Structure 1
Amino acid sequence: MDGTLSETPTPDTDEAGRQGPQGKLPILALTALGIVFGDIGTSPLYTYKTILGVTEGSPNGGVVLGTLSLVLWTLFIVTTVKYVSFAMRVDNDGEGGILALMALLGVKRQQRPTIVAVGLFGAALIYGDGAITPSISVLSALEGLNMATPALQPYVVPAAVAILVALFAIQSRGTQAIGHLFGPVMLVWFVTIALLGVSGIVKHPSVFAAVNPVYGLSYLFSHGANGFWVLGAVFLCVTGAEALYADMGHFGRRPIKLAWYAIVFPSLILNYAGQAALVLEGAPTEGNIFFRLCPDPLLIPLIVLATIATIIASQSIITGAFSMTRQAIQLGWLPRMTIKQTSSEGYGQIYVGVVNWLLMIVTVGLTIGFRKSDNLASAYGIAVSLTMLMTSTLLFIAMREIWGWSRWAAGAVAGFFLIVDSAFFLANLTKIGEGGYVPVILAICVYGIMWIWHRGSEAVAARMHEALIPVPEFMAHIEAKKIPRVPGTAVFPTRTERDTPPVMVWHVKHNRALHEHLFVLRVDVLSVPWVSPRDRLTVQTVAPNYWRAAARFGFMERPHIPELLAASKSLGCTIDLDDVTYYVGRETVVPREDGKGLPAWQERIFAVMERNAVHVSDFFHLPPDQVVEIGRQVAI
């Protein structure tokens, strides 16, 4: 994990946490187009054709207007009302997303297992659907080649695999060089799909009657089970809505709202209406109705633009997975991993190799296994619909505890969201047997890893606290045994909040000597994304030349102990920074023999993760030539 000590918000922020001054608002909104809206912005490529594939019989006027009405009102209720108007007002110091919301509700200050379970499983579900997004997006774009030149159909899947492998392969290089183009390219994309939609609407302007929700409700209640199951396809139009909330910390609330209301929302409405108008006009529904909006001479350029847009959308999903992984590590729910900062310009531009390659394997496997975007659409949506359901649950608690709303007011608003989310989730349940089990299984695996890692970490910490020695007793032992004090400063990172760190006790036991200056440091990751530099470090003297310090970091920050030591000088610590040795423990996890520890299978899995986690010296940026490791077995 690379970085500096105090990655704090820029001075020019508003109440959302990380927004630039007013003059930069349009620039930030343009940049947000390339990071935040790629997923939801490319959904017209596959959503309406999937809806038409689910409806029974040939689409007549009632079916077309009814399904279009459902799409328009889903975009409005789920994205505009729930996420833009409500969820984005519940930020954790400017950060959004289900993990930030979970942390905001105080899960580290008090035991709230239900909230933790909801938040973690919601995050795990995002990983599951995140593996599908690049595959379905790129496939749906390239399938336009089938309409341009049917002879190219055998090459769609190989081309999609090649693009996806190349996309994941370049992640370690970062996107700084081309990232500034993402916003303008997506602006061109949204303008293009809006114009395509207008070209369809002029052929059948009456399509705008679908703005009346009666058409959607009539279709829903007059077509029996099919009217309900079609919601699973309609839901595809908002599968990227969670990203608006999760990426809020990158840009702030106002740029995202501006981009949504001014560009994205109108473009999506126009394009979906244009596709529906084309169907009403009698256009063939075989293939992809999206590409039928395009004049034949411009079809190949549109396919190229769509492919680029889906690559950008996939990039956003991958970057979001990296950011969520870092949050989970900092909050103590995933093992430490190597995190590489790929750019000095943006904190969110990082690379997590393990996550990258695992995502690539799953995404490429899904592409090869399902082969068509229609097949992937059957697996898509169930995970993110469940995530949205969990977000609504946490929003209810936030309305009560953070906004101070009454139970009736919070229940009315959150209850409405829960009804909508539940309907979409139940409709998506029909996809379980058609591939929907894939993201759910992935999510269960990720959740299991998080849960076992946290349980194991707590078990190790509990064992460490069982044999703590008070500092006066330990120092008295040093004097009584005439343990020599050698020149220099010894720094002991520790999990303990009091008494003598076990690493210091082991050091004296094995080396029979102790440095003249002792500095014990505990690093706490708080349930906020950022900590002010003035609140970063506290130091207290517990004995002559013996200091105990507590460092606080937000879950979006990167601990850097050498820089903390430099800061401690201003707090009265008389240590020699040029003569420092770091003593860190390396625990080997073994099962307890008294039968009171973790179940054997959990202990084995945790032990494997512990052995493969990034070592604490790397995590804290300790100079390798100044680190001494002391090992011991810890029975959990």
Structure 2
Amino acid sequence: MEVDPTTDNNRFPDFQESSYESSPNLPERKLRRNDSLDVESRTVPGAAGAHGHKAAGTAAATASWGVILHLAFQSVGIVYGDIGTSPLYVYASTFIDGIKHNDDILGVLSLILYTLTLIPLVKYVFFVLQANDNGEGGTFALYSLLCRYAKIGLIPSEQVEDQEVSNFQLELPNNRLKMASCLKSKLENSRAAKIFLLFATMLGTSMVIGDGVLTPSISVLSAVGGIKNATSTMTQDKIVWISAAILVCLFMVQRFGTHKVGYSFAPIICIWFALIGGIGFYNFLKFDPSVIKAVNPKYIFDYFKRNKKDAWISLGGVVLAITGTEALFADVGHFTVMSIRLSMCCVAYPALVSAYVGQAAFLRKHNDLVSDTFFSSIPGPLYWPMFVVAVLASIVASQAMISGTFSIIQQSLSYACFPRVKVVHTSSKYEGQVYIPEVNYLLMLACLGVTLGFKDTTRIGNAYGIAVVFVMALTSSFLVLIMIMIWKSHILVIISYVLTIGLLELLYLSSVLYKFDQGGYLPLAFAGFLMTIMYIWNDVHRRKYYYELEHKISPQKLKNIASLTTLNRVPGLALFYSELVQGIPPIFKHYLANIPSLQRVLVFVSFKSLPISKVSMEERFLFRRVEPDNLNVFRCVVRYGYRDIIHEQESFERVLVERLKMFIEEESWKLQNDNDNRAEERRRRIGEEIEVVDRAWRDGIVHLIGQNEVVASKGSGLAKRVLINYAYNALRRNLRQSEEVFYIPRKRMLKVGMTYEL
């Protein structure tokens, strides 16, 4: 059923107009012959692209040091809550059966130090942060870079004009390597590779959402558990219920927004890092300064030689030292690359190293206290202040992952990889901060289920490790593709990366998978559930798009409709919403067959997500006129990046009408080669058209929504019938409709129903 949208360019050559010279009264624009918006529309070259191709992120690169330091301070509160609270449970999760040999502590410390250095510091700070998408990070940012460089999208909606959007450009080196071209060609020509990349992106997204469930559970449970050291009356069940109460409060306040998180939480995490770093240094000097020997990797080999399989299994606990590392990349859009690097190298990394070294020194003298290493190693006078800060820090870590989950779901919505949910932007100042009511309550129920079901950090840690390492391995896989295709990195650099960081992550992955039956199944089951939902939604969305593309209304049919004497034109402006970017949807004919009336001005509106983070307002609306001219019918593709805000309807309507009038005015410049009389006549007609639009705007806007029912076509197999008739339709009935997502007022809305047999 796949249709190539470019084939119609040869089928309807009459609709491809020649170029004209630009008017001296308007900015000079690059002209082209073909209109990629739709071959059924008239060509108005250069409707987008009046702006330069300078990447949005370059402005941040020139920020003053004062701004960078300010952002670095804020990033401490948002980015490092998760990795910063790891010292609460790493040693306890690694030595589950106790410490069997005193030098095992040195082996584990050496593993922690090298893991912290190679993955958060080397991989993320110096490699992955470079792969940001115009300042945005995360799994979808990597996928978007690949989508822009190679045609690997599964929906045929590419347009030439999209490449003129400022953020779309990739800064590529001049030398084209054979390996990069070969890989690009293979990806573009392999449907299996395209599906696999989308599948991997969905898997990474699901695992990050899994982090959003597990981080609050393990962080709060670990912090509250410290109260056992102060009183013997505190049982594990009481700790679990206190943790559950804190989690409920945390999720209930999400609706108030997180726009003050950076300012409010940064001091807490800064105090936390100062305390764990200072206490670590104190313990290092007091108990056993010789643990500094752990910088020698020989102790890692000795540890594996003594413990063999048990050492390999214990890697599942060691990997918890780098939980939350993905936040370094995922949250870079709120800050800058330099500010993240600065805060990691100067604050987080030194404090964490000091904390783990200090705990190792303490354990060398107190092997029997490994199950409660963190709180047992705190000097007496600092116990209660540290307990309070630990609980606050765990809440911060949880808040950061919850916010990250909202952001990544917002990104997945733009690729039709998640069912419709309402995204509430909680801050007018920080656009990336969002709240999703449905997801918030589902996360809360999942967190409570994990906390009340597992009740201890050991099994939660097993589950957590799988989610963390899976996301890291997927990030590395995408990064290698980017290094080959986009960066054109030297082959030795790529091989070195794979043989060091890649193999290290695979080793950790093998270890955490070993604990599958000890809680490790949870993130995989959770990811499987989420991916099933994402696959169902994405697959049927693509089937619907191909159906509309195949059955779209041809130019001749539209002319026939316009010539009908029964067609009644009524006052007002109608916005007809459609997911179809390439043409006029078949539901429009169905609408006119039942209601033979049409508003004075009609605009077909399609929302399209580009594989970039943001689209500026000047480049967001792409208009084309639909012939014949006297219909006053236009097509409009509204282009959004995956971080853009969908504005309230009143604001959206106003901007759309203003951009439509600008489009009508800009049509006049291409006619300057006409004689003076014809040009004057054309300008008069344009003035009249703008007056028609203004009058229609004053008469009122009607929103026409296509309510497409989908069913499997006759003769479909069982799997297809279950997928479309039951699974997809069940999701659609129980989730928000498009008018709720796009803030369309019910009083001015008319739904048009039609059944698609897919």
Q: Which residue of 1 aligns with 2:215?
A: 133
Q: Which residue of 2 aligns with 1:559?
A: 646
1:309 aligns to 2:350 (yes or no):
no
Change (3 A) 1:236 1:230: same
Q: 1:335 aligns with which of 419, 438, 441?
A: 419
CA deviations 1:217-238 (Å, max 9, x no partner) are: 3323442111211211110000
Equivalences for residues 422-441 of structure 1 within 5 A: 422-441=506-525
For residue 440 of structure 1, what is the amino acid of its counterpart? L
1:150 aligns to 2:244 (yes or no):
no
CA contact (8 A) 1:589 1:635 kept: yes
Instruction: Give the aligned length.
Output: 625
1:600 aligns to 2:721 (yes or no):
yes
Q: Which residue of 1 aligns with 2:38?
A: none
CA distance in 2, matches of 1:553, 1:380: 34
Q: Which residue of 2 aligns with 1:30?
A: 73
1:104 aligns to 2:145 (yes or no):
yes
Moved more, 498-507 or 327-336: 498-507
Equivalences for residues 235-634 of structure 1 within 5 A: 235-282=319-366, 284-543=368-627, 544=629, 545-560=632-647, 561-562=652-653, 563-572=655-664, 574=690, 575-576=693-694, 577-578=697-698, 579-595=700-716, 599-603=720-724, 604-634=726-756
CA contact (8 A) 1:231 1:428 kept: yes
For residue 290 of structure 2, what is the amino acid of its counterpart? S
TM-score (norm 1): 0.94
Deviation at 1:283, TM superposition (A): 5.8
CA contact (8 A) 1:12 1:18 kept: no
Deviation at 1:19, TM superposition (A): 8.4
What's the secondary structure of 1:336's corresponding residue?
coil
What's the secondary structure of 1:152's corresponding residue?
coil
1:41 aligns to 2:41 (yes or no):
no
Deviation at 1:323, TM superposition (A): 0.3
What's the secondary structure of 1:634's corresponding residue?
strand
Moved more, 395-404 or 536-545: 536-545
For residue 97 of structure 1, what is the amino acid of its counterpart? G
CA distance in 1, matches of 2:548, 2:61: 39
CA distance in 1, matches of 2:743, 2:61: 27
CA contact (8 A) 2:707 2:752 kept: yes
CA distance in 2, matches of 1:353, 1:362: 14
- Unpaired segments of 5 or more residues in structure 2? 1-50, 159-187, 666-689
CA contact (8 A) 2:73 2:266 kept: yes
1:68 aligns to 2:109 (yes or no):
yes
Change (3 A) 1:499 1:223: closer
1:169 aligns to 2:210 (yes or no):
no
CA deviations 1:440-470 (Å, max 9, x no partner) are: 1001111111111110101122222333221
Moved more, 221-230 or 517-526: 221-230
Deviation at 1:45, TM superposition (A): 0.3
CA contact (8 A) 1:16 1:252 kept: no
CA deviations 1:126-182 (Å, max 9, x no partner) are: 222331111111111111111111212242111101000111111111234565210
For residue 549 of structure 1, what is the amino acid of its counterpart? C
What's the secondary structure of 2:710's corresponding residue?
strand
TM-score (norm 2): 0.79
CA contact (8 A) 2:99 2:367 kept: no
Q: Which residue of 2 aligns with 1:160?
A: 243
Deviation at 1:632, TM superposition (A): 1.7
CA deviations 1:558-615 (Å, max 9, x no partner) are: 3344233332222217323333222111112223223179612211111122223332
Q: Which residue of 2 aligns with 1:123?
A: 205
CA deviations 1:497-523 (Å, max 9, x no partner) are: 344333422221111112222212222
CA deviations 1:192-222 (Å, max 9, x no partner) are: 1001101100121111111122222332344
Q: Which residue of 2 aligns with 1:79?
A: 120
Change (3 A) 1:20 1:506: farther
Moved more, 532-541 or 590-599: 590-599
Deviation at 1:414, TM superposition (A): 3.0
CA contact (8 A) 2:257 2:427 kept: yes
CA contact (8 A) 2:77 2:261 kept: no
For residue 355 of structure 1, what is the amino acid of its counterpart? V
CA contact (8 A) 1:492 1:503 kept: no
Moved more, 618-627 or 82-91: 618-627
CA contact (8 A) 1:13 1:20 kept: no
CA contact (8 A) 2:713 2:757 kept: yes
CA contact (8 A) 1:471 1:500 kept: no
Identity of aligned residues (%): 32
Change (3 A) 1:313 1:504: same
Deviation at 1:434, TM superposition (A): 0.4
Change (3 A) 1:269 1:19: farther
What's the secondary structure of 1:381's corresponding residue?
helix
For residue 414 of structure 2, what is the amino acid of its counterpart? Q
CA contact (8 A) 1:393 1:414 kept: no
What's the secondary structure of 1:77's corresponding residue?
helix
For residue 166 of structure 1, what is the amino acid of its counterpart? C
CA contact (8 A) 1:141 1:307 kept: yes
CA distance in 2, matches of 1:293, 1:19: 44
Moved more, 434-443 or 92-101: 92-101
Change (3 A) 1:320 1:313: same
CA contact (8 A) 1:17 1:93 kept: no
CA contact (8 A) 1:134 1:310 kept: yes
Moved more, 456-465 or 161-170: 456-465
CA deviations 1:222-273 (Å, max 9, x no partner) are: 4211121121111000011111111111112111111111110000000000
Deviation at 1:25, TM superposition (A): 1.3
CA deviations 1:522-555 (Å, max 9, x no partner) are: 2210111111333222212222112122221101
Deviation at 1:67, TM superposition (A): 0.7
CA distance in 1, matches of 2:67, 2:733: 46
Deviation at 1:374, TM superposition (A): 2.5
- Unpaired segments of 5 or more residues in structure 1? 1-7
Please identify the structure whose Cα radius of gyration is greater.
2
Q: Which residue of 2 aligns with 1:184?
A: 267
Change (3 A) 1:102 1:500: closer
Deviation at 1:408, TM superposition (A): 4.5
CA contact (8 A) 2:314 2:511 kept: yes
Change (3 A) 1:596 1:513: farther
Moved more, 164-173 or 18-27: 18-27
Deviation at 1:482, TM superposition (A): 3.5
CA distance in 1, matches of 2:89, 2:421: 35
Change (3 A) 1:177 1:549: closer
CA distance in 2, matches of 1:16, 1:314: 31
